[in-house]
Chain A
């Protein structure tokens, strides 16, 4: 059996770790509430935007538009949203696994990374990072999403890339976050599902259809990026909260076990001491 001193030291170390994880959990909880409110506030916009654009594309049928047609070099851009900090359970690993396992060859992939964890991991694995926007993830603003969308669309228009994907973590609820990998562009009219709700049935464009799409598609892309950003932030904090909650309860469990061991060792040493004293006294008398 380990000595009393060893057990005590071990217990103290676990106690301080437990304090850290507990504090991190509390911080993550507060941040999660904020991030979640933000995600919920922006949800109506994306739902409306998604619906508007998909119905538009569905109605216009097979328009011959630069954003809808595949051209260029065959390189694929992946916008990857991860976190800047670790200790968030499987949050970063899950989304990175999804990207590396997406079937896109390493050579064909150009990564636009948002979040240091994803960037570092992919750099080590030899992926090409085209641009990095890791500062954005701390406080995502719609402006940031617009800038990123602009950069990616410029590369798309210049023919450097021919497909754009977005990898982020979808926030279902506090305990469940699902990593998703979606294709942003080109939008193929065949992929779009027509929703018949009757209200937005006949659609005229003013100005011309082409011009309208020119303006709306970038907005669509930036709004999807923004939506992905706020959902990812919520997911990150949700994942961290769960991870830290588990860590704290594991620490508590270990402390309980060690306390038991410590007490047993203490009792053992007292008993031994007593036995020794009694034996000594007996020997003298």
Chain B
């Protein structure tokens, strides 16, 4: 496979999260899941909580949880500005499981007082984290 490579940068407020030349990256955006190869048309998109899969040059696939932010696809590079990003080994799965149950309960109760958008976001975050557990 002689796929063209492109530069991918994932940056969070706390640290530069990932930087490297990759073959392809899969991301979850507000418009659905996308896969980006080199020479993609320039576009700006919003991230949804989800698992990002980074396909590196040597064929390895790295997975990471990206929770919110946006991405900018340029002519030569792709830049992801994520507010929260985690590698699988940084996730506390027990806590994620708890968070999922809490969020589901909150959504189920729906007593008007709760912030539904927020609970949904929390649930999505928890599910993304759990998805990374294999």
A199 near B74: Cβ-Cβ < 8 Å:
yes
B69 near A42: Cβ-Cβ < 8 Å:
no
Interface check A142, CB cutoff 8 A: yes
B72 near A52: Cβ-Cβ < 8 Å:
yes
Those of A39-67 within 8 Å (CB) of chain B: 41-42, 44-46, 48-49, 52, 56
Which of B9-17, B88-96, B125-133 has 4 or more CB atoms under 8 Å from chain A? B9-17
* Centre residue among B29, B44, B77, B79 by max chain A CB count within 10 A: B44
Those of B45-83 within 8 Å (CB) of chain A: 45-46, 68-70, 72, 74-77, 79, 81, 83
Interface check A223, CB cutoff 8 A: yes
Question: For this complex, into which size category does the number of interface residues on chain B fall?
Answer: 20 to 34
* Centre residue among B68, B76, B77, B83 by max chain A CB count within 10 A: B83
Q: Which among A42, A199, A206, A216 is the interface contact of B14 at CB below 8 angstroms?
A: A42
CA distance A83 to B13 in the complex (A): 22
Interface check B117, CB cutoff 8 A: no
B11 near A48: Cβ-Cβ < 8 Å:
yes
Smallest beta-carbon distance B72→chain A, Å? 5
Smallest beta-carbon distance A202→chain B, Å? 5
B31 near A198: Cβ-Cβ < 8 Å:
no
B12 near A45: Cβ-Cβ < 8 Å:
yes
CA distance A202 to B30 in the complex (A): 21
Those of B30-46 within 8 Å (CB) of chain A: 30-31, 41-46
B44 near A45: Cβ-Cβ < 8 Å:
no
- Chain A, interface SS category: helix
Smallest beta-carbon distance A26→chain B, Å? 26
CA distance A79 to B98 in the complex (A): 36
Kindly list chain A residues whose C-beta atoms are within 8 Å of the C-beta of B70.
52, 212, 215-216, 219
Interface check A101, CB cutoff 8 A: no
- Chain B, interface SS category: strand
Q: In the complex, which residue of chain B has the Cβ closest to the Cβ of A145? A: B13
B15 near A203: Cβ-Cβ < 8 Å:
no
- Whether A205 contacts B69 in the complex (CB less than 8 A), given A42-B14, A44-B11, A45-B13, comes out as no
Smallest beta-carbon distance A95→chain B, Å? 22
B81 near A52: Cβ-Cβ < 8 Å:
yes
Smallest beta-carbon distance A39→chain B, Å? 11
Smallest beta-carbon distance A266→chain B, Å? 59
A49 near B81: Cβ-Cβ < 8 Å:
yes
B77 near A142: Cβ-Cβ < 8 Å:
no
A44 near B16: Cβ-Cβ < 8 Å:
yes
B74 near A142: Cβ-Cβ < 8 Å:
no
Interface check A226, CB cutoff 8 A: yes
- Whether A215 contacts B46 in the complex (CB less than 8 A), given A48-B81, A199-B76, A201-B75, comes out as yes
Kindly list chain A residues whose C-beta atoms are within 8 Å of the C-beta of B14.
38, 41-42, 142
Mark B residues whose CB is within 8 Å of A. 9, 11-16, 29-31, 41-46, 68-70, 72, 74-77, 79, 81, 83-84
Question: What are the 8 tightest A-B residue pairs by CB atom distance, in nearest-first order?
Answer: A199-B74, A204-B43, A142-B13, A200-B74, A45-B11, A41-B15, A202-B42, A45-B13
Mark A residues whose CB is within 8 Å of B. 38, 41-42, 44-46, 48-49, 52, 56, 142, 145-146, 198-207, 211-212, 215-216, 219, 223, 226-227
